[in-house]
Amino acid sequence: MIDFKALKSGTDVRGKALGEDARLTEEAAKIIGAAFVEWLQQKGIVSPKIAIGRDSRLSGEALLDACADGMARAGAEVTAFGMCTTPAMYMSLLTEGFEGDASVMVTASHHPSDRNGLKFFLRRGGITSGELDEILAIAENTEVSDSYSGDICSKEFLPVYKEILKDRIRSGLDTDVLCPLTGLHVVVDAGNGAGGFYAEMLQEMGAWTEGSQFLDPDGRFPNHIPNPENEDAMKSICDAVKKVGADLGVIFDADCDRAAIVDRNGREINRNRLIALISAILLDKDPGCTIVTDSVTSSGLSKFIGEWGGVHYRYKRGYRNVIDEAIKLNEAGVNCPLAIETSGHAALRENHFLDDGMYLVTVLICEGMRLKQEGKDLSDLLEGLQEPAESKEIRLNITAEDFREAGRNAITHVMDYADSAQGWRIAPDNREGVRITFDMLGGMDNGWFLLRLSVHDPVLPLNLESDVPGGVKLMADALLKVLEETDGIDLKPLEDFVNG
């Protein structure tokens, strides 16, 4: 018996796909594929046209075939792209000659090689959490037909997507020359995911890519985790850039919806630095615009965006939350060209607010080329970005049976305490959990923590940041005393940090 609800992760299907205890099996993928078609038919799309692709994971080909089979048996006209990226799967719905009603990407993003998943897209963008609930509810009662009322064909889309990126480079540099990146040296690290073709694309545009690594798809991910937030992965690309003296390096996760870059000195530009860099580029062209980020961005980033003439708008964690809020702001008349998470998920208005790390990197490479022609470097744009002296993330497990209620109670208790506690200030842009700012060690507004409820798990993630040495422990100790008055929270990780 397949527990379809257990496969839900936010707006995606995700689960272990290899081994005896695999949950996302070929049978599950086939049934979910058929259920997706039935859900589309209930929305009035009688014979849906659906594209499907996959990243390099070992289970990807089998799951793609199974899902495609289920969709075709349920009446869909299925086009299998084979190896692809998540952003390309959505872009195919908007591209002439490929326009479909929906698409599916078989990927588990940066997660371990034995995991896999399914992402679903409509022409308006990714499906919502509630819509996935509807699809999985249908799956629980779906019997896949023994015969086909649809069809499956194969077609490539990555070459088309590559041309879209080339067009962006030419428009970004305001040129129609054949090789506009001549003279730029870029190291590409695809982490053995689906993004290895990007190095070839840069070469075709004139860039030098000596030193690029892990371009061949390999679902075992033998060299490092394909994750721009992973310390080993970032060290690998930093070392590669320094070894060959490149102008910059780029690194993708397995399905290329997230990315980070490295400057010519081997310094990683991810998280707050990445947000600051793309914000500076956008604000230079569009002064006064609003940048939407997730809730754990730094105080230094807010100051940086303000100094560039922009407005920093923090919102809830979760890339769909950030994107949807940016779209709402634009609909309300707020000029908001960017939605970006510290994880590297980034969506630009110019690109349909599509969560596309590869497109983001392409924009940055254009700016890097322009600056090199002026004798400058991308990192020059980060001058003035205040970096914290200390930062720490601690995850507190919620032990109560009703973990959401216990988590909300803990957050409310901290917020109530902060209302009257001397030196505690609830941040004015507090839109998730509780964000408290502090004046410490003779300074002003030089530390903060954010306590929030995880999107999916029974966990309270705690992020702390201080501009002065020792500040993080001071805040952690103060918070521990407050949380000791709450129930259902395992405080040992916080106690260990404070007492360590």
* Successive 10-residue mean pLDDT values, the chain, 500 residues: 92 95 97 98 97 98 98 98 97 93 96 95 93 97 95 96 97 96 98 98 98 97 94 97 98 95 95 97 97 94 97 92 95 98 94 95 98 95 95 97 95 95 89 92 89 89 95 96 96 96
Rounded CA gap, 382 and 300, in Å? 11
- Decide if 61 contacts 140 (C-beta within 8 A): no
Q: Does the annotation count 171 as an active-site position?
A: no
Separation of alpha carbons 207 and 198, rounded Å = 11
161-382, what's its fold?
A: Alpha-D-Glucose-1,6-Bisphosphate; Chain A, domain 3 (3.40.120)
- At 423 the pLDDT is 87
Query: Are residues 445 and 426 in contact, defined by beta-carbon separation less than 8 angstroms?
Result: no
Active-site hit among 9, 92, 109, 295: 109
What per-residue confidence (pLDDT) applies to 428?
87
pLDDT reported for residue 194: 97
Q: What is the dihedral of CA 488, 295, 314, 258, to 10 degrees?
A: -140
pLDDT at residue number 430: 81
290-293 and 338-340 as β-strands: parallel, antiparallel, unpaired?
Answer: parallel
Provide the whole-model pTM: 0.92
Question: Can you say how many angstroms the Cα of residue 342 is from the centroid of all Cα atoms in its chain?
Answer: 8
Domain 390-499 = CATH 3.30.310.50: yes
CATH code linked to domain 5-156: 3.40.120.10
Tokens found for residue 360: 């983001």
Residues of the chain with CATH 3.40.120.10: 5-156, 161-382
> Please, what is the Cα angle at 160 between 156 and 165, to 5 degrees?
140
The angle at the Cα of 318, spanning 57 to 56, to the nearest 5 degrees, equals 10
Structure tokens at 229: 């937030």
Residue 422 is predicted with a pLDDT of 87
The Cα–Cα gap between 121 and 127 comes to 6
Give CATH 3.30.310.50 domain extents, the chain: 390-499
- Please compute Rg for the chain using Cα positions: 23
Query: Which residue bears the tokens 């599916």?
Result: 104
